[in-house]
Structure 1
Amino acid sequence: MSTTALIVVDIQNDYFPGGKWPLVGADAAADNAAKVIQAAREAGDFVVYIRHEAGSADAPFFAPGSDGAKLHPKVLNLEAEPVVLKHFPNAFRETGLQALLQDKGVEQLVIIGAMSHMCIDATTRAAADLGYTVKVIHDACASRDLEFEGSVVPAAHVHAAFMSALGFAYAEVLSTETYLA
């Protein structure tokens, strides 16, 4: 039995073109995520989906029960693959994720999804703090432009900064191609 789990974080409709909070490169990241998911299934790894819902219907995105809060069609879970509902950036916070992983004897995590600067960052750091060996597949993640004190920080720079920080102390950061090789 594999001791590796793939954690598919928040690849949801609102992050795609036409959604309420589109990310730069969401389609390309989802295409890579689909490859990683298929490889995990073929390897017999435990695949867990994380789905974020906001706390109220007037949230800027992921409103409860909305189409935007649903998993994107490119990466739908199979019936046997659990979907963990979360309300915070850290997928471990106030969810059953840790119990699911412990029940399966998981020791290593592979993390993909969105947003690089929020939920991928928070979940990766929490996973490492909990003692997991973590890999992040950087091109199966996406971000968006951010603003700080009147300056726009392009999504590519946001993504690179967060992947660099995670790679420094929390995870091995790999491309889809390298990971699948």
Structure 2
Amino acid sequence: MNKSALLLIDIQNDYFPSFSGSKMPLPAMDKAIVNANKLLMAARDSNTPIIHVKHVMTSDTAPFFRPRTLGAELHESVRPITGEAIIEKTKPNSFLNTGLEDYIRNRKIEHLTICGAMSQMCIDATVRAAVDLGFKVTVACDACAAANIEHNGISVPFDMVHASIMAPLSSIYADVRPTSDCLP
């Protein structure tokens, strides 16, 4: 069996509609956190390594995740405890210019279960990078959330954005499944 870890990506206050002053509320984030919390509790119970990734923008004028703000803090329902790693990043790919790869390799982790936000940005970029680096990946699709987006005058609702990311990830890059299938 490959040694596994849980990677929680950008589960930060600014993404939650329920957070007062949210700068980038994602429609399904409050639902996704329920499943992310299940994964976190199961990982803690089974002594699975847990890595929290926190996106902090480089400017106080960024649209969200501004440095030193409550919006950039990890959400209380997945707050790290002693022994859980926190990796800070400034780009969508959690491996880019961070110590994530070294942290994982030093612990001989070969498989990552990934959840968090946003499906179309940081989840997609991190999953693809992880696979390119040789890691096996499972995505807990119902523990991830996407944004409503617009392109070229076409509005795409969050659930379609999410599905349009999970479909190609599941066909080539990762084992994409519901949280219930990811629990030990």
TM range (shorter): over 0.9
Give the AA of the match of 1:119. Answer: C
Structure 2 Cα separation of the partners of residues 47 and 24 of structure 1: 26
Give the AA of the match of 1:16. Answer: F
Structure 2 Cα separation of the partners of residues 13 and 2 of structure 1: 33
* Residue segments in structure 2 that go unaligned for 5+ positions in a row: none
Structure 2 Cα separation of the partners of residues 10 and 149 of structure 1: 27
| Structure 1 partner of 2:173 | 170
Q: Residue deviations 1:90-113, cap 9 Å, x none? A: 000000001110111100000000
Q: Determine helix, strand or coil for the equivalent of 2:37.
A: helix
Shift of 1:2: 7.2
Structure 1 Cα separation of the partners of residues 101 and 54 of structure 2: 15
Structure 1 Cα separation of the partners of residues 156 and 52 of structure 2: 29
Q: Determine helix, strand or coil for the equivalent of 2:34.
A: helix
Structure 2 Cα separation of the partners of residues 2 and 40 of structure 1: 15
Residue 142 (structure 2) pairs with residue 139 (structure 1): yes
Q: Residue deviations 1:25-74, cap 9 Å, x none? A: 11110110000011111222110000001110000000001100000011
Structure 1 Cα separation of the partners of residues 88 and 140 of structure 2: 22
Contact 1:2/1:46, CA 8 A, preserved across alignment: no
Q: Determine helix, strand or coil for the equivalent of 1:147.
A: strand
Q: Residue deviations 1:65-84, cap 9 Å, x none? A: 11000000111111210110
Picking from 138, 148, 162, the partner of 2:151 is 148
| Structure 1 partner of 2:36 | 33
The TM-score with structure 2 as length reference comes to 0.96
The TM-score with structure 1 as length reference comes to 0.97
Alignment of 1:1-181 (within 5 A): 3-17=3-17, 18=20, 19-180=22-183
Structure 2 Cα separation of the partners of residues 167 and 152 of structure 1: 24
Quote the RMSD (CA, aligned, Å): 1.2
Moved over 6 A (4+): none
Q: Residue deviations 1:148-181, cap 9 Å, x none? A: 1111100000000100011011100010112226
Structure 2 Cα separation of the partners of residues 177 and 105 of structure 1: 26
Contact 1:51/1:84, CA 8 A, preserved across alignment: yes
Contact 2:2/2:111, CA 8 A, preserved across alignment: no
Cα 1:40–1:2 shift into 2, 3 Å: farther
Contact 1:5/1:109, CA 8 A, preserved across alignment: yes
